[in-house]
Amino acid sequence: MTELRWRLADDDGGQGALFEQEVERHIGRGEFRGMEFLHVQARRVINEVPRASRMPFRWTINAYRGCSHACVFCFARPTHEYLGMNGGEDFDRKIVVKINAVERVRAELAPGRWAGDHIAMGTNTDPYQRCEGKYRLTQGILGELLAATNPFSILTKSTLILRDLDLLAEAARRTDVRANFSIGTLDEEVWRMTEPGTPHPRRRVEAVAKLNAAGVPCGVLMAPVLPGLSDRPEQLEAVVKACVEAGAVSITPLLLHLRAGVREHYLGWLAGARPDLMDQYAELYPRAYAPAGTQDELAKTVQALVAHHGGRSVGPRQARSVPPKPPAPPAVSQLQLGV
């Protein structure tokens, strides 16, 4: 085994963590063909989001870096460059696995060390990507969060989350839990082009229904909506109608954004797959975000569709937030009762 030591910024902006790496290769083995899993020992796993961030949560857990979903637009691709790898094929094939994640979460949630804040999962790469079936780190982390009755939320594109349905339902009975599925389109051609490693979006819609039926509140992020590919009104309505019928507790559209590193990868892909759209993207994305007016137009269109089909639309912050549990009332002694 090759052993290396890395110092790098944490997934969500921490001060750096030391890792020891060993490489497990899977060349020509079934589901993991061509994959490399980089085993690391993380110094910590619950990471704090930078104070300047606009995220609706302060703490995150990401047990994996890199993602076999291979979404051409994934915003997390640049994180692989911090490790001396590229944000293209390396991101899709070389997955960093924090093999001590469950043990670290158990230690970091210990009474006296942790205040019980909401923890968000799936903020960098998918906690239920394919290698979760092998390593079960997300499942182990859920067990620790359940034992601590700690509120949490999960964002995923994977129906593998249903493996843990009983665990999630029990957690939802004890504390505040929220799940969200990312379903940007039901268009099969667009899905196959842009999210080749993800489950079929119709299967994700079915998973939304199963989670809600089990008592696990589950919404949908229509994310990202891709200009020229998945933003036609009939495409948007197909997603909204299916998700409302599945019982999604909320629906939130998010237009594609192209931060540095993602921009180069996505536009390089687009030039080969849909060169006819290059001029449109040059106009829409002189910067990372499309113009505010374009984003507002998408939001209003989806809001109207959601209202028409009897669903509930919320903004991005509300979609990922889990309300804090109210403080327990102070204990009242018998002596106080007699005062």
Task: Mean pLDDT check: name the lowest of 14-28, 36-50, 81-95, 114-128.
Answer: 14-28
Q: What is the pLDDT of residue 316?
A: 75
Dihedral-angle region of residue 116 (phi above 0 means left; psi in -120 to 50 means alpha; beta otherwise): left
Confidence band (pLDDT; 50, 70, 90) for 336?
Answer: very low
Q: What is the pLDDT of residue 57?
A: 82
Q: For the chain, which domains are there? A: 1-132 (no CATH), 176-323 (3.80.30.30)
Q: What is the pLDDT of residue 32?
A: 82
Judge whether 160 and 167 are in contact, CB under 8 Å. Answer: no
Res. 198: pLDDT tops 70: yes
What proportion of the chain, given as a percentage, has pLDDT over 70? 85
DSSP string over 200-225: PHHHHHHHHHHHHHTT--EEEEEEEE
Res. 5: pLDDT tops 60: no
Q: What is the pLDDT of residue 333?
A: 34
Encode pLDDT of 266-308 as tens digits: 999 999 999 999 999 999 999 999 999 999 999 999 999 999 9
Encode pLDDT of 43-58 as tens digits: 999 999 887 777 778 8
How would you label 4-33 residue by residue, b for 16+ Cβ within 10 Å and e otherwise?
eebebebbbebeebebebeeeebeeeeebe
Averaged pLDDT, 14-28:
51
Q: What is the pLDDT of residue 172?
A: 98
Q: What is the pTM of this model?
A: 0.87
Averaged pLDDT, 73-82:
92
- CA 163: distance to chain centroid? 17
